[in-house]
Structure 1
Amino acid sequence: MSMATENGAGNTRLQLDTATTAESRIGRIDPYGFERPEDFDYEFYEEFMSQYMTVLTRRAVRWSKLLKGNRRFERSLKVKRFVRKGIPNEHRSMVWMYLSGAQAHMEQNPGYYRRLLEGEKNAQLVETIHTDLHRTFPDNVLFRKTSNPCLQKNLFNVLVAYGHHNISVGYCQGMNFIVGYLLLITKDEEKSFWLLDALIGSILPDYYSPAMIGLKTDQEVLGQLVKIKIPAVAELMEKHGVMWTLVVSRWFICLFIDVLPVETVLRIWDCMFCEGSKIVFRVALTLIKHYQDEILKARNFPDICDKFKKITKGPLVTDCHIFIKSLFTEPGTLSRATINKLREQCRAQVLAQG
């Protein structure tokens, strides 16, 4: 590291050298194969990881004791508490499979996934999926054609199989990113298939149907929850005529992929597989409430859209451990009964609008 010779310029040089050193230690590619963005804060991330690794090590020991070599476990308040504190990567695939019910469905249907791949294919479905393959995670080295192995083939297989399994859904943009993340964690096509089925068939019903009624409904539900919990932001949105779908559609349809950091998304998914879709609302409300003062500075339509992009970056979401803790405190109470009641009202409005 160079010594500073002048206060102003020297300090700048010192900061640049420190950042470069942190970048060289951490690397431009993250553990999941994603290239880190140009504006990535290496210094903050290194500081965060130095503390978070201690947390991960402690959690791994506790999870190992909980599982005790047993590859099966039952839902309980203790498991829920453990999930909220984070599932170690070595157990994540297995825990997701059991919590979501995907493991039971896979065991009840031996050979079904392989039969879907070997069966007759819908040419239009296959072509649509093929078109989207190269658009899936261009910033991830594992999804490039030049990589060996290349996850594009596995991605294609899971999406084609699911399209023939659930004909009413077929394929919808956004599903490719979901399956991509599932493959990165499970490293297994069949498990990814059954986890996708749990998400689309149970956890997020109607999110990916052709009319996307469930997705549209939940975006309206979020609007109603913001009215209740963060009324000033709701008033700002109404004043400038900003529809919620314009600022949060990607949050919902991609379950925060490419919106929040990878490790944070995985921690959100841990909770979602355990507690269901209400976690998506908790994430959205936490972001909006935490940054409401910043959002309220917006003076027009473009300003609001820009604010919603900015609130998904920075230290709050990078420190996934602190962020997940805040999900269960910052938004306050959020009962399943409240969500179901709002869903019923908002679904009727969405259907009436055609």
Structure 2
Amino acid sequence: MEIRSRRRQTENGTDPTPAQPQLRINVPSTARERVPSVDPYGFERSDDFDYESYEELMSEYLAVLTRRSIKWSKFLQGRSRVEKNLKVKRYVRKGVPNEHRALIWMAASGSQDQMDKNPGYYHSLLQAQHDPKLVEAIRTDLHRTFPDNVQFRKTAEPCLQKTLYNVLLAYGHHNKAVGYCQGMNFIAGYLIIITKDEEKSFWLMDALIGRILPDYYTPAMLGLKTDQEVLGQLVKIKVPEVWQAMTEHNVMWTLVVSRWFICLFIDILPVETVLRIWDCLFYEGSKIIFRVALTLIRHNQALILQARNLPDICDHFKQITKGAFVEDCHTFMQTIFKEPGSLPMATISKLRETCRAQIMAEES
């Protein structure tokens, strides 16, 4: 998570992003020069990381973030199950502390139920005979997965590449219609970082790819293509000036937002912001992706409209995923539920039906 000069709002009835107890906020300058710093998830911080702003921010909000964690701990105390209700939804939207993320993601997505109903299934997949083509495809991408994360390097102990390989291999055999597709390695990697558990990561993959985002990763990628066009239609409704500009410059939506969808904003937005998005994605489903995308576009429409040609548009779409607005994950998450306005699932479903039919007709 890159942090520049910025401030987060104080606790005015809402709670900022949960922090991790292990965050080190007082880093001597000599240590910064001597040792490459990593964030709590193992990602190396960039050379231009603003330590002073980070320390200022954390010194101001650490107590608030701790109180948020305490609220979750009190809520979960003595609970073996977490049922969906308005209180939990409100808590999730405010952010799930990292120590409770695996539990909440598993419960909210139905993954815990699936794992409980299928004891030993994950390990049976690993023990089965493996498809050589699947093995080769996965191995090819292992070293490309988070090269800036110290936990995925071969020198790490333990090295998460082996865990990543197991999860992807098991899933490829579990869902033969998907097998393995580029982009899945980053999703599995994030799940492993948070859950620290192979089997839970596998079942969360199953929830994302099998239920929350169906047909995103199949060979035809019909679900992915459909949702990109759905976003275009939503922009036409919500931000018509941007839709008009895209049309005039003949820019296909897949050119500027395909990585947003296929990587679920990994390597697009800061780590903490991605995790906050995923909190809601597991709880509320795919509609969250549209809310995030619409917010990025609507909030930055003035910049997008400055584009004079195709390269400008592509460059401006990269710019809108950086900076203070997306780094302040708590304010950003509050904004995604306000700025796009009403977004009924019925509207999305109807648009999906229309866009899917159009794509299938064009490809037939």
What is the TM-score of this pair, normalised by structure 1? 0.92
The one of 199, 205, 217 equivalent to 1:208 is 217
- Equivalents in 2 of 1:230, 1:19: separation in Å? 46
Alignment of 1:94-173 (within 5 A): 94-173=103-182
Residue number in structure 2 paired with 1:275? 284
- Equivalents in 2 of 1:321, 1:71: separation in Å? 28
Question: Could you list the runs of 4 or more consecutive aligned residues of structure 1 that deviate by over 4 angstroms after TM superposition?
Answer: 18-27
1:312 equivalent in alignment to 2:321: yes
Residue number in structure 2 paired with 1:3? none
Report the CA distance between 1:81 and its aligned residue.
0.2
Residue number in structure 1 paired with 2:94? 85
- Equivalents in 2 of 1:24, 1:79: separation in Å? 43
- Amino acid of the residue matched to residue 212 of structure 2? I
- Equivalents in 2 of 1:249, 1:144: separation in Å? 27
- Equivalents in 2 of 1:41, 1:290: separation in Å? 25
The answer to whether the Cα contact below 8 Å between 1:48 and 1:319 also exists between their aligned partners in 2 is no
The answer to whether the Cα contact below 8 Å between 1:143 and 1:152 also exists between their aligned partners in 2 is yes
1:252 equivalent in alignment to 2:261: yes
Report the CA distance between 1:80 and its aligned residue.
0.1
* Residue 225 to residue 147, structure 1, CA distance change in 2 (3 Å): same
- Equivalents in 1 of 2:360, 2:318: separation in Å? 29
- Amino acid of the residue matched to residue 87 of structure 2? K
Unaligned segments of structure 1, at least 5 residues: 1-17
Report the CA distance between 1:44 and its aligned residue.
3.7
1:31 equivalent in alignment to 2:56: no
- Equivalents in 1 of 2:55, 2:240: separation in Å? 37
- Aligned residue for 1:161, secondary structure, equals helix
Deviations 1:103-140 (A, max 9, x none): 00000000000000000100110011000101100111
- Equivalents in 2 of 1:174, 1:68: separation in Å? 36
- Equivalents in 1 of 2:225, 2:76: separation in Å? 39
1:289 equivalent in alignment to 2:291: no
Unaligned segments of structure 2, at least 5 residues: 1-26
The answer to whether the Cα contact below 8 Å between 1:52 and 1:321 also exists between their aligned partners in 2 is no
The one of 184, 194, 204 equivalent to 2:203 is 194
Of Structure 1 and Structure 2, the greater helix share is in: 1
* Residue 74 to residue 22, structure 1, CA distance change in 2 (3 Å): farther
The answer to whether the Cα contact below 8 Å between 1:142 and 1:149 also exists between their aligned partners in 2 is yes
Deviations 1:43-81 (A, max 9, x none): 443343334433321211111121123231111000000
- Amino acid of the residue matched to residue 157 of structure 1? N
For CA contacts below 8 A with separation 6 or more, give which structure has more relative contact order: 2
Report the CA distance between 1:353 and its aligned residue.
1.6
- Aligned residue for 2:167, secondary structure, equals helix
Report the CA distance between 1:177 and its aligned residue.
0.1
- Equivalents in 1 of 2:254, 2:220: separation in Å? 14
The one of 68, 72, 85 equivalent to 1:63 is 72
- Equivalents in 2 of 1:36, 1:242: separation in Å? 34
What is the root-mean-square deviation of aligned Cα atoms in Å? 1.9
1:336 equivalent in alignment to 2:338: no
- Aligned residue for 1:146, secondary structure, equals coil
Residue number in structure 1 paired with 2:3? none
- Aligned residue for 2:81, secondary structure, equals coil
- Equivalents in 1 of 2:33, 2:74: separation in Å? 36
The answer to whether the Cα contact below 8 Å between 1:144 and 1:152 also exists between their aligned partners in 2 is yes
The answer to whether the Cα contact below 8 Å between 1:60 and 1:88 also exists between their aligned partners in 2 is yes
* Residue 287 to residue 51, structure 1, CA distance change in 2 (3 Å): farther
Residue number in structure 2 paired with 1:345? 354
- Aligned residue for 1:287, secondary structure, equals helix
- Equivalents in 1 of 2:218, 2:295: separation in Å? 27
Report the CA distance between 1:38 and its aligned residue.
3.4
- Amino acid of the residue matched to residue 102 of structure 1? S
- Aligned residue for 1:316, secondary structure, equals helix
The answer to whether the Cα contact below 8 Å between 1:19 and 1:42 also exists between their aligned partners in 2 is no
Report the CA distance between 1:349 and its aligned residue.
1.1
The one of 256, 259, 266 equivalent to 2:275 is 266
- Equivalents in 1 of 2:172, 2:247: separation in Å? 38
Of structures 1 and 2, the larger Rg is shown by: 1
* Residue 173 to residue 195, structure 1, CA distance change in 2 (3 Å): same
Count of aligned residue pairs for this structure pair: 337
